[in-house]
Amino acid sequence: MKTKRNALKIMLRLVGLLRPLSPHMGLAVALGALGHLCAIALTVLGILALYLALDGQTEAAGRLFVPIAAAGILRGVLHYGEQNRNHYIAFTLLKIIRDHVFGAMRRLAPAKMDVKNKGELISTVTSDIELLEVFYAHTISPIAIAVAVSLCMLCFFASLHPLLALCALPAYLTVGAVLPILSGGRMRKEGARVREGAGSLAAFLLDSLRGLKETLRYQRQDQRMEEIDRRSREIGLAQKALARKTGLLAGGTEMTILLFDLAMLVLCITLYQNGQISLKEVLLGQVGLMSSFGPVAALSALAGSLSQTLAAGDRVLDLLEERPEVEEVTDGKDVLFHKMALEGTHFSYGGSAQVLSGFDLDIPARGITGVTGPSGAGKSTVLKLLMRFHDPEKGRVTLSGEDVRQVNTASLRAAQAYVTQDTVLFNDTIENNIRLARPDAPREEVVQAAKKASVHDFIMTLPRDFETGVGEMGDMLSSGERQRIALARAFLSEAPLILLDEPTSNLDTLNEGRVLASLDAVRKEKSVVLVSHRPNVKALADFSRAVDKP
């Protein structure tokens, strides 16, 4: 169950990732604080020079020209330095977070990929991570800068009169903390709705693109478009609600600033009338407050953008902190394949209906083991347990007599080649897709694997034969051609155990016969587990085990 995180927990967790770049953040805060103080000094010194000039102190006013010019120049230089460091931090951290996210996906796969909504996942690793740039470049240092500048200005006001500092303190706290906190809690709900809606829409669009041919074939494009419009409207409504609250916050912030400016003016006039401060100090106090709201006002403006950013951060943290269903073993045993077995295994997906109940299977060192059974009986699940994509709830899976939970995962993977019903090809050449099983394999062995899979003749009819690209997800090829390339990949592998899940389901009778002949040829040198419901495929097996529904 997901642990509920509030905004503070999300921010602290995201800040924790910043630790390696803390020197850069310290520099960004220092440059930003000095830059804002230069901007304030520019206004305050300008007013002071004008006052001195009107008071007849032209020489003293003239001496302020150099500090004013220096403040103006430094403001630009310091602001550039701050932004440079902030964006360096942001984009470096996004690179680190992407690395962490793909590492998390690797830990969670393949069990997680069986159930994870692919569109949601794509939304998380793309737009959600990109939104974190707002947090790292425009949130952390502005908070620290606002605190530093406010403290400096409070000291300045206190030097004029303690009551001026007491007037400025609640002004800074209200604009920089109270308003953002009160508004941020209300905005976060809309921000989460926007991010969740965007993820859901991305998933639906990906589904629609993958099933575009079926949608057109059955003339369901209007229904698909209506659903896209509906989901887009929901996101739009959430964005409007967020924009409305952001606008109210901006207006409330401006009004609050004006009220505190007015309060400072009344206080300054009262102190002046009582002879406690001079006219010059009245001007410096009033102008100082009016020109120093920039850093805290920026925090108030962050509430709107942070609502989506924190929602995105929450989704990214969910992925980073999710525990894999099966932990990879790195400190276990390296085991060579002699046999495999499932012993009294019970399994269900996520506590749903039982898929396997007390299932046993012995796989010898050589020969073909057939796994048969009706659709939904759990034939594919047997292969996933052998690959340790999942662990059984009861019983155990063994490799050469050793429980696979004690075997190094790399050793288990090296012992197996796996061909699924849904063939996955990368947007690369045919040769590189086959060579995925063994990147250092010479071309001759790639060709031989293609011949075994009955795909060589087809490849040679292509304009660039093995150098032909297969397109995204192998879309340039038919399902049968993709399946034969996946079989060639398995044949090229040096794994002694080949796991095949309906390997001929997309093949015509001629090519099916050729593939079965190839399997028949390797039975003396490798062990093959063949999942199929076709009678001629089952007849090929040396050993057969039926899977019945519990």
At 235 the pLDDT is 84
Q: What does pTM read for this prediction?
A: 0.65
Q: Which amino acid is at 174?
A: T
Domain 340-546, CATH among 3.40.50.300, 3.30.420.40, 1.10.760.10, 3.40.640.10: 3.40.50.300
Characterize the bridge pairing of strands 367-372 and 543-546.
parallel
Characterize the bridge pairing of strands 354-363 and 340-348.
antiparallel
Tell me the two tokens of residue 38. Answer: 């230069």
Q: Nearest-CA neighbor of 140 among 292, 306, 386?
A: 306
pLDDT band at 152 (very low <50, low <70, confident <90, very high): very high
CATH second-level architecture of 7-321?
Up-down Bundle (1.20)
Q: Report which secondary-structure segment, H or E, holds 524.
A: none
More confident site: 325 or 190: 325
| Sequence ranges of the domains in the chain | 7-321, 340-546
Q: What is the mean pLDDT of the chain?
A: 84
DSSP 139: T
Helix/strand/coil for 309: helix
At 73 the pLDDT is 93
Is the pLDDT score of 1 beyond 50?
Answer: no
Helix/strand/coil for 541: coil
What percent of the chain stands above pLDDT 70? 94
**Residue 460, exposed/middle/buried by CB under 10 A (0-12, 13-18, 19+)?**
exposed
Characterize the bridge pairing of strands 367-372 and 416-419.
unpaired
Asked whether this chain's domains 7-321 and 340-546 adopt the same fold, the reply is no
Q: State how far the alpha carbon of 401 is from the alpha carbons of 74, 369, 397, in Å.
A: 73, 18, 9
Q: Which residues contact 362 (CB under 8 A, 6 or more apart)?
A: 339, 341, 369, 543
Distance CA 155, CA 88 (A): 32
pLDDT band at 288 (very low <50, low <70, confident <90, very high): very high
Distance CA 504, CA 419 (A): 11
